[in-house]
Amino acid sequence: MKNKGLGRGIEALFADNEINENEEQVTEISIDKLHPNPFQPRTEFDTAALDDLAQSIKKSGVFQPIIVRNDDSHSKEYQILAGERRYRASKLAGKETIPAIIRPISDEQMMEIAVVENLQREDLSPLEEAEAYATLMDKLHLTQAQVSQRLGKSRPYIANYLRLLKLPREVRLLLKADKLSMGQARTLLAIKDEHKLIKLAHATVANNLTVRQLEQLINSENKSKASQAKPRTKKSPFVHDAEQQLQDLFGTSVLLNASKSGKGKIEIDYSSNQDLNRILQILNIS
């Protein structure tokens, strides 16, 4: 079983509302009155798994209530906070109602709950996990550090996943289809030339290269380039370590050039306006 290990799960997010679960009531709500979570980052549901769940519901009903909120305080329409699979399967099973718990949840909490529920899926791919973190940062205007704190993950862990979103679309599709592993994808990020990166990604899949073999290929290529290039001044361990820490902080490539006089410059890569805004938020620049 795949364990996501989230420090703060859905239960913790619901607990933020200070609701006493013993006082909550399970209500049968008409299927026709329910609507999917508009902030749900998950758009694809396994058809076979839904069919299996629908058969189970036909036979035994829904054991665990879904959680919903009122669409509007003056209406009887509801949005699903947690349990969309049970809702979809119940529709397939021909059910007219489904057991539910109604909770007062804000848009921000609803979005966070949807993303965390998505993160707790056992079949979540590395790219989907990265997209979930990016959604929290973009929609809730959070920094990597804030996402790390909310989810109980280390900041470098979040940064490493977000870096996957910098891969070319063709390579991201290979990762999403589980043809590339997280380790292979991270290793490929060392290649700056997009054309070569895509070519090596396909070669990795075709030849079933291990991460170690991929590293050796890339190192060999880099050494070959280095031997043809002009000699560079070797960076001190301090500068190299500072670069690494800055890359972990910003979740992107950072180049630190320092001269003997003590002067220098820091170059921070960003891939889009959205990525630039993310970096500016980390620097507390509005």
What is residue 201's predicted lDDT score, i.e. its pLDDT?
A: 93
Give residues with Cβ within 8 angstroms of 176, minimum separation 6: 125, 127, 128
What are the b/e assignments for 190-229, b being 16+ CB within 10 Å?
ebeeeeebbebbeebeeeebebeebeebbeeeeeeeeeee
What are the b/e assignments for 12-40, b being 16+ CB within 10 Å?
ebbeeeeeeeeeeeeeebeeeebeebebb
Nearest of 131, 135, 209 to residue 163 by alpha carbon: 131
**How does DSSP classify residue 91?**
H
What is residue 17's predicted lDDT score, i.e. its pLDDT?
A: 44
- What's the distance, CA 183 to chain centroid? 16
The Cβ of residue 77 has, within 10 Å, a number of other Cβ atoms equal to 15
The secondary structure element, H or E, covering residue 214 is helix 211-228
Per-residue pLDDT of the chain (286 residues; tens, 9 = 90+): 444 444 444 444 444 444 444 557 899 999 999 988 776 666 677 788 889 999 999 999 998 999 998 866 556 789 998 888 899 999 999 999 999 999 888 888 887 777 777 777 666 778 888 888 888 888 788 888 888 888 888 888 899 899 999 999 999 999 888 899 999 999 998 888 899 999 999 999 999 999 999 888 888 876 666 555 555 566 777 887 788 888 878 877 788 887 777 788 888 887 777 778 888 888 888 7
What is residue 6's predicted lDDT score, i.e. its pLDDT?
A: 46
What is residue 119's predicted lDDT score, i.e. its pLDDT?
A: 75
Which stretches of the chain are assigned E, i.e. beta strand?
26-30, 34-35, 66-70, 78-82, 97-102, 254-258, 264-268
**How does DSSP classify residue 121?**
-
What is residue 167's predicted lDDT score, i.e. its pLDDT?
A: 93
Nearest of 244, 239, 238 to residue 159 by alpha carbon: 244
Strand partners, 256: 266
Token readout for 203 is 């070669």
**How does DSSP classify residue 177?**
T
Give the type of residue at 273: N
Residue 261 DSSP SS3: coil
Determine phi and psi for 82, rounding to 5 degrees. -150, 135
Strand partners, 68: 80, 102
Give the catalytic positions in this structure. Answer: 84
Cα angle 130, 131, 135 (rounded to 5 degrees) comes to 120
242: exposed, middle or buried (C-beta count within 10 Å: 0-12, 13-18, 19+)?
Answer: middle
Using CA atoms, how far apart are residues 249 and 282, in angstroms rounded to an integer? 8
